[in-house]
Structure 1
Amino acid sequence: MKYRGKVTVLLTTLVLATVCLWYINDNGEQNVAINTSGVRFFTAATLAKSKSFCTDLGTNYLKPEWDFRRYERPKFLTNYKNPCYLGRRMTNNESLVEGRALHCLPYFIVAGFPKSGTTDLWARLFNHAEIHIKHGKEPRFFNIGRFTAPFERVMVQYIRMFARSTIELQKLVAPLDCGHEFPYHHGITGEATVDASFDIKDWRQVPGNENCSEPAFTNADVAYHLNPNMKIIFVVRNPVDRAYSDYIYEARFLRYPTNPQLFHAAVIDAMRNHTGCWRHHHSVRACAYNNTIESMKVRLRVGMYHIFIQDWIDVFSSDNILVIKAEDTMGPPKIADVYNRIFSFLSVRPFTRMEEMEVFQRGPVNVRSKHEKNIGEMLPETRKMLESFYRPFNEALRKLIPEIDYNAS
């Protein structure tokens, strides 16, 4: 496996004196009043037992059955572009090859981020002839499912989810002159659990993360263990707009009241919790992976894109990572170029002209309802506060992905 032998500590070139360590007083006023000299920006997942944020003390909270490293990666078939293998039957509705069941893992994952147009991306990928996704968008295996039972058992459930897509992959055969052995199955499948980028439900109990203040092993390490050649797609959106969209969207399920004033108050609470966490841990990364310091109303940590993307790059390398802007997928003139980048990254053919006309003329999906639009936009003072909060994180993202600069916009 591809694990780093030492901690990568980045005292990021964001000026630490302005690194978003805001003090929010009881009146909601903002003051930059915290000494940031001890703040560390960890940008890489690291080996367990790292002296920087893991200790050698014993623990009573370890869950050895959750150790993904115990899972033996199958030998993938060379005549399938997608990672597929032959194994025992799991259901009655499976493709069979010489009496054995054909199973497939995802060739790609859309790993982030929520409320950034990923449902729209998923719907458009569904129309590509070489991409077979006959299953749900978000199985939530990496961030939640793998913590529900021994890893080998939940892997069976995860693989079962791709059964219908696997049947389609077996049917698709490349032409004889494609340069591969015949028959060569050139279709691919994937999934889009967008919380996989930042959410690790019970990471503290996973072997390798014992006694760590922040995860040494992340979801990226699990994905790499399953398929080292997996393609990872991130869709980012202006984090200020993403936060407000997320606030309105989650109210559909959590039934909390929504209006710009309540959002402003929730933002202040979330900022107070984050700054308190930073003072305690001296590491922004530790708090970014802490799912206990904020509610579903305002998930500020989701917009700290560079922290999570860097962790995946450190595991897979940048060649396996594609980051695109949600704003470029909303329509002309950039949408066609963005999808051509995606298809090139996935090594599938581009849309034909007719396919582009059909797919790109459709309106976006999973947008606000009429009722949600009537809530109105966030208050100007809330936007200003969030822009200040995210400024150093946006700068770090720009240094990582130079073509994406949300501070400029």
Structure 2
Amino acid sequence: MDFLKPFLLKLGYCSKPQFIIIGTQKGGTSGLFNILNQHSLLYGSSQKEVHYFDNDEWYEQNKLEEYHSYFPLPHQIPKGAKVFEASPLYLFHPKAAERLYSYNPKLKLIILLRNPVERAFSAWTMYHHHFSNQLSSRHDPRSFSQAIHYELNHLQTSDYYSDFRSYLKRGIYVNQIQNFLKFFPRKQLLAIESASLKNDFDPTIREILNFIGIPYAKLENITSNKSQINDKNQYQQEMKALHQFFEPFNKQLFDLLDTNWNWDYKT
């Protein structure tokens, strides 16, 4: 049957995601994708990060058939099951919200949000250490201090296209969520603190499954991207400065979401 799939997709015989995990980078999206994929009624895309709605060239070519090829065909999905994907760049990409709404205005969107200081440092660790060999074009040779100070000095002039790393701007979550709220009603967005998957796993999974309309099932906690590199102690001054930088944005975020996560500075 696989050899027929391209033909069937051209005829419009395809599955479409009913919900998507849209962010944030280094927020635990890989872990959540793998956790939900254990559920008998949830079918994740064959590739976790499909990146259709943040790939300008791919999207503008309107290659929906290729996008839908990452999902099972309708006859392969049990009644009541749902398909999904997780591309954490969707949250930050300036055009993804409008594109997702044009694709399906009834989409449900899950956002995992991590303390933005910890997220920034984790992202730098990835670009600086882990991309040094395998993905040299994405390698960041700068120290964390150099990278942060550069972005602080160019915050008003940089954008998604001029700085794809955006250690700081990716952590200003309130702006990104407000962009999505221009298109989607609040009830279709679920924002979860990523730490809750570690500290309150079962209640958090219950909340997520209830949000997407799937019966509860006991799922195993799965963590991904466990870095063995941690040189955070070298950058305590920078970490403290970033907590002060993000504090007003976090307050706006908590007001918007009617919550108050414990993102205070810790030594």
Q: Is this a same-fold pair by TM over 0.5?
A: yes
The answer to whether 1:93 aligns with 2:16 is no
Residue matched to 1:147: 57
What are the Cα deviations for residues 124-160 of structure 1, in whole angstroms up to 9, with x where unaligned?
011011101251111111111x4247443x2221122
Gaps of 5+ in 1: 1-89, 173-184, 201-217, 278-286
Which residue is equivalent to 1:189?
83
Please give the alpha-carbon distance, in whole angstroms, between the structure 1 residues aligned to 2:170 and 2:187: 23
In structure 2, the partner of 1:227 is: 104
* Residue 182 of structure 2 corresponds to residue 271 of structure 1: no
Counterparts of residues 212-291 of structure 1 (less than 5 Å): 218-251=95-128, 252-253=130-131, 254-257=138-141, 262-274=143-155, 276-277=156-157, 289-291=159-161
Query: Greater relative contact order (Cα 8 A, min sep 6): structure 1 or 2?
Result: 2
- Secondary structure at the counterpart of residue 249 of structure 2: helix
- Partner SS, residue 69 of structure 2: helix
Shift of 1:198: 1.0
**Contact 1:232–1:321 (8 Å) recurs in 2:** yes
Match of 2:214 in 1: 348
- Partner amino acid, structure 1, of 2:76: E
The one of 13, 16, 40 aligned to 1:105:
16
Residue 226 of structure 2 aligns with which residue?
Answer: 367
Q: State whether residues 190 and 211 of structure 2, in contact with CA within 8 Å, keep that contact through their aligned partners in structure 1.
A: yes
Map 1:5-404 onto structure 2 (within 5 A).
Answer: 92-93=4-5, 102-144=13-55, 146-148=56-58, 150-152=60-62, 154-162=63-71, 164=72, 166-169=74-77, 172=78, 185-200=79-94, 218-251=95-128, 252-253=130-131, 254-257=138-141, 262-274=143-155, 276-277=156-157, 289-292=159-162, 294=163, 296=165, 299-331=167-199, 334-351=200-217, 355-356=218-219, 359-360=220-221, 362=222, 364-369=223-228, 372-373=229-230, 375-404=231-260
SS of residue matched to 2:38:
coil
Q: Secondary structure at 1:315's aligned position in 2? A: coil
Identity of aligned residues (%): 22
8 Å CA contact 1:343–1:350 kept in 2: the answer is yes
> Any runs of at least 4 consecutive aligned residues in structure 1 with deviations exceeding 2 A, and if so which?
93-96, 146-152, 164-168, 253-258, 375-378, 404-409
Q: Deviations over 1:17-54 (max 9, x none)?
A: xxxxxxxxxxxxxxxxxxxxxxxxxxxxxxxxxxxxxx
| C-alpha contact 2:124 2:140 (8 A) present in aligned 1 | no
Give the partner amino acid of 1:316: F
What does the per-residue CA deviation read over 1:270-326, in whole Å, with 9 as the maximum and x for residues that have no partner?
A: 10010x43xxxxxxxxx5x5431x463x52110010111111122110110000001
Amino acid at match of 1:156: E
What amino acid is aligned across from residue 24 of structure 2 in structure 1? F
SS at match of 1:404: coil
Asked if the contact 1:306–1:396 (Cα under 8 Å) also holds between the matched residues in 2, the reply is: yes
CA RMSD of aligned residues (A): 2.5
Aligned to 1:81: none
Could you tell me how far 1:407 is from its partner in structure 2? 4.8
Contact 1:196–1:219 (Cα < 8 Å) also in 2: yes
**Preserved CA contact (<8 Å) 1:142 1:196:** yes
Q: Secondary structure at the match of 2:154?
A: helix
Report the count of equivalent residues: 256
Distance 1:234 1:227 in 2: 17
> Aligned with 1:330: secondary structure?
helix
**Distance in 1 of aligned mates of 2:259 and 2:60:** 42
